[in-house]
Structure 1
């Protein structure tokens, strides 16, 4: 008869379902980070090839409005997941 020892907490199905509850949010966050990195790299390459330098500037009001809209939509969509 095997000796009873401490139970592996990962064997609890309830624990596994709680652990994977944020998996969709983490995966979505990685997609956003990758998209931002690709956009930044492509913008940097384009600017570097056109002018030879990289312009650092504040976002325009239109860009800020788009970012704010994306923030609101993203929060609404991913806040319910």
Structure 2
């Protein structure tokens, strides 16, 4: 009975130790992921500033509208005549 108790205590201690090690590794991985995310955000902000992204989105919308109103009908007419 005493041996079984000692065996179970040892097993519980080992499990607790492994759990603690896993938690520490998880915390380290989370910290590493957070630092990588921060670096990516910095690079993204540097790469395309917010004001430029807004202007590009507006310009893209303008080009698509212009193409649908003028370019596509002209191309369709050209294809019909060919």
Q: With structure 1 as the length reference, what TM-score do the two structures score?
A: 0.41
Q: Which one scores higher on RCO, CA 8 angstroms, separation ≥ 6?
A: 1
Greater helix percent: which structure?
2
